[in-house]
Amino acid sequence: MKYYITQLWIALISGEIDFTTWLYEMEHLEETDHDAP
């Protein structure tokens, strides 16, 4: 899970995705991540 979040940050910083996409992805993660510690 943390690996995917790291990949999202890298994509945002490198300009592969825009902030709106990043924000959507992060919100979606929170909704679907039921086995978070």
DSSP assignment string, 3-25:
HHHHHHHHHHHHTSS-HHHHHHH
As given in the structure block, the two tokens for residue 19 are 């902030």
Please state the pTM of the whole predicted model: 0.64
Under 8 Å CB-to-CB from 33, ≥6 apart: which residues?
Answer: 1
At residue 7, the pLDDT reads 95
Under 8 Å CB-to-CB from 11, ≥6 apart: which residues?
Answer: 17, 22
In angstroms, what CA-CA distances link 33 with 23, 27, 37? 15, 10, 10
> pLDDT in tens for each of the 37 residues of the chain?
788 899 999 999 999 999 999 999 999 887 665 565 5
At residue 29, the pLDDT reads 84
